[in-house]
């Protein structure tokens, strides 16, 4: 069974806050749609450590990378005070994502320039990256990503997620969320 590798940042400063994408992954697992690895990260070093581990041969079947954390154009926020540039993430994953599909469940990360996103794909070897080009509502994004993740992990074609998320049923929400896809072949959707 194909799998998802998820790194999740710290959504809130409060240690009692229980916000997490873990229930989404557990639902997909319980429905036998995929298996998953979920790692909480609170520092750039932890993020880089787990990303490097993900590129090890034994985790090849986890072909979808799921970055669940706050974001802005070209940057992921591991905590509210600690950010990592997409270029640094790409360097960490250099050549280790051949054919993988990466999803940034982070506000506005895909607002990065086409040059930054193209460079990310070239450095990592990923087949595609996708995510949001604007700030999104948690619940709207969660409902969208449940379907998106299923198509990213189980779609036979690299554009399987695009075909579904741009269908008549999902296109209005995709547009509302500012959903974008960049492919390694240079195509942008």
Taken in order of first residue, the domains within the chain and their CATH numbers are 3-183 (3.40.50.1460)
8 Å CB contact between 105 and 131 = yes
Per-residue model confidence (pLDDT) at position 18: 78
pLDDT of residue 136: 95
Return phi, psi of residue 77, to 5°: -105, 110
Place of tokens 């997409």: 86
60: three-class secondary structure by DSSP: coil
Cα-to-chain-centroid distance, residue 54: 14
Nearest Cα neighbor of 126 from 150, 146, 143, 104 is 104
Give me the pLDDT at residue 140, please.
94
Sign of CA pseudo-dihedral 76, 130, 8, 90: negative
Asked if pLDDT for residue 187 goes beyond 90, the answer is no
Averaged pLDDT for residues 111-135 = 96
- Give me the chain's average pLDDT, please: 94
* Residue-wise pLDDT tens digits, 155-176: 999 999 999 999 999 999 999 9
Nearest to 24 by CA among 137, 149, 169: 149
Name the pairing type of β-strands 3-8 and 35-40.
parallel
Radius of gyration of the chain from its Cα atoms, rounded to whole angstroms: 15
pTM (global) more than 0.85: yes
In Å, the largest CA–CA distance within the chain is 44
């Amino acid at each position: 069974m194909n799998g998802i590798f998820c790194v999740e940042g710290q959504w809130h400063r409060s240690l009692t806050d229980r916000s997490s994408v873990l229930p989404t992954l557990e639902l997909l697992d319980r429905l036998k749609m995929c298996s998953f690895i979920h790692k909480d990260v609170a520092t750039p070093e932890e993020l880089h450590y787990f990303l490097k581990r993900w590129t090890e041969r034994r985790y090849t079947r986890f072909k979808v990378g799921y970055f669940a954390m706050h974001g802005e154009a070209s940057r992921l926020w591991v905590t509210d005070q600690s950010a990592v540039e997409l270029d640094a993430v790409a360097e960490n994953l250099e050549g280790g994502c051949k054919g993988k599909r990466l999803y940034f469940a982070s506000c506005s990360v895909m607002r990065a320039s086409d040059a930054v996103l193209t460079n990310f794909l070239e450095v990592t070897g990923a087949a595609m990256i996708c995510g949001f080009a604007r700030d999104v509502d948690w619940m709207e994004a969660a409902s969208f990503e449940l379907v998106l993740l299923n198509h990213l992990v189980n779609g036979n074609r690299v554009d399987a997620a695009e075909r579904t998320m741009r269908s008549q049923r999902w296109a209005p929400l995709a547009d509302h969320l500012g959903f974008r896809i960049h492919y390694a072949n240079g195509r942008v959707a």
